[in-house]
Amino acid sequence: METTGLAPDRARITEIALIEDGPDGPREWTTLVDPGQPIPPEIEFLTGISSALLRGAPRFEQVAAELLARIDGAVLVAHNARFDHAFLKAEFARAGLAFRARTLCTARLARLLEPEAAGGHGLDALIARHGLALAASAGAAPADAALADAAQADAAQAGEAAATPAAATLARHAITRHRALGDAHFCRAYLLHAGRVHGAAALDAAIARLLKRPSLPTHLPPDALDAIPHAPGVYLFHGLNPQPIYIGRSIDLRDRVGSHFTNDHRHPRELRIAQEVRRIEWQTCAGEFATRLREWQLIGERLPAHNQALRRQQGQIALRLGDDGRLVYAKAAALEALLLARDHAGHARHAGPFANRAAARRWLAAEAPARGLCLAVLGLEKRSRADAPCFNRQLGRCAGACTGAQPADEHRAQVQALLAERALPAWPFAHDLFFAIEFGAHPAAPARAVQVFDRWCWLGTAASPAEIEALLATAPRRYAFEPARWLSAFLATEGQNCPFGHA
């Protein structure tokens, strides 16, 4: 289909085309639609559809019943099918009709079949990469055939020689890229090509995976997922009590929430969550960074029963080498004190994070033999006497710091080199504050979100300068390993090109 814009609640459909694949082969159906609003110049330039071309076209409500009869119960195949489905649902709703359909997105199918393909998976990229071409249309059956006469009259008035009904129809329903019928043909061409290249079995398996429909529990309404957008955000599953039982996040809320109800539960916990949920709540976010922080914040505040992994992160620790050559464990509060004192070098001398002391010891025990480190000197192994060789020394896996065979300074340097591989990052700015900005790409998501950090301490999310000032003035400086780790990753990618620091 073609539309006047990108937002289903504001823009309108201007052209619809269907290719119905059935036992008798493909059949085409297409119609222009009067959107009841001007065509933006950029849309006219892209599609060739102008207000003049739409003169006399039916309104959507005039073709809604016929269109619904044709597509009811069918699988809608389109490139970026969510876009088409969202517009159809909005237009049918305005016409007083309910509409739901299964969709097969050829963009998602292409990503599944050829994930490493260069050039992306947009329709133009698929056309170019696979040499997709359109056969001449032989079975077009325009729904607005009466418009051909109007087009013929317009053309004749303009002095065009080819002003015949057939020519007018072809002009009005051009089978080209960025026109509804042309794009429908290209999608169908890609499906046929994928079957030839990947084989029918692989194509069928990929389609079955994409068409897997959530099987909602009986205690959730059938339309429980309908209002959830395909946007980044967090979701909360509630049971019989107000307290959430599970909190999750995704860059696509609808798909992620639906995945909990696919009857493909690979873990007993997933089945328990699906059985217990009675109500679904969600919050959209600008992007992935914001979803991580909001999920972490909500889990810390609400303590849902099924979020054990993130709840356990509250006990994380870091470690460093003490002056006596033994390990020193530090909780987040100790690192927070270093940061607030602006001892960034002291913070960066720590390695981690580790889930707990036991996890840190397991990591050291696994890494020590390859470097000849002594677990006894590190305080991880007891000895019968001070000069007794450690267990690894007896096996030839310790360089002998326990017996004096390896100088203490050399052993210390080896340990420091190992810890440096997991060192906490040093604060990279001369100033204390950093603003990580994400711009929302989905209409349902916030247009912009600013994550405010003070020396690795996340203060919160702001949407305006006033909210930023409020956070700076009132938010406590609390250090936590996960927000600091996510900010470090952000700085290594998106943040490198974004001068959001603020002294």
Tokens 């006596």 map to which residue? Answer: 324
pLDDT tier at 150, thresholds 50, 70, 90: very low
| Beta strands at 317-321 and 75-78: parallel, antiparallel or unpaired | unpaired
Assign 263 a pLDDT band (cuts: 50, 70, 90).
low
Helix (H) and strand (E) counts for the chain? 20, 15
| Confidence bin at 175 (pLDDT 50/70/90) | low
Tell me the three-class secondary structure of 32-86, residue by residue. ECECCCCCCHHHHHHHCCCCCCCCCCCEHHHHHHHHHHHHCCCEEEECCHHHHHH
Q: What is the dihedral of CA 140, 144, 147, 151, to 10 degrees?
A: -40
| pLDDT (0 to 100) of residue 311 | 65
Residues, the chain: 503
pLDDT value, residue 178: 82
What does the pLDDT read at residue 499? 37
Mean pLDDT of 275-302: 94
Mean pLDDT, all residues of the chain: 85
Burial class (CB in 10 A: 0-12, 13-18, 19+), 135: exposed
pLDDT band at 176 (very low <50, low <70, confident <90, very high): confident
Burial class (CB in 10 A: 0-12, 13-18, 19+), 69: exposed
Rounded alpha-carbon distances, angstroms, from residue 141 to 55, 64, 75, 164, 268: 19, 17, 21, 16, 52
Q: What is the DSSP string of 269-320?
A: HHHHHHHH--EEEEEE-SSHHHHHHHHHHHHHHH--TT-HHHHHGGG-EEEE
For 419, phi then psi, to 5°, come to -65, -30
Position 141 pLDDT exceeds 50: no
pLDDT tens column, 22-67: 788 889 999 999 999 999 999 999 999 999 999 999 999 999 999 9
Q: Which of 12-26, 465-479, 486-500 has the lowest mean pLDDT?
A: 486-500
Q: Mean per-residue pLDDT for 337-352?
A: 94
Q: Which residues contact 114 (CB under 8 A, 6 or more apart)?
A: 121
How far is Cα 481 from Cα 94, in angstroms, rounded to an integer? 49
In the predicted model, is pLDDT for residue 185 greater than 70? yes
Output the CA angle 176-180-183, nearest 5 degrees. Answer: 60
Residue 169: the pLDDT is: 43
Token pair for 497: 């090109």
Report pLDDT for 323: 85
Cis peptide bond prior to 353, omega within 30° of 0:
yes
pLDDT tens-digit profile of 353-396? 999 999 999 999 999 999 999 999 988 888 888 889 999 999 99
pTM over 0.85: no
Q: Which residue has the higher pLDDT, 163 or 34?
A: 34
Q: What Rg, from alpha-carbon coordinates, does the chain have? A: 31
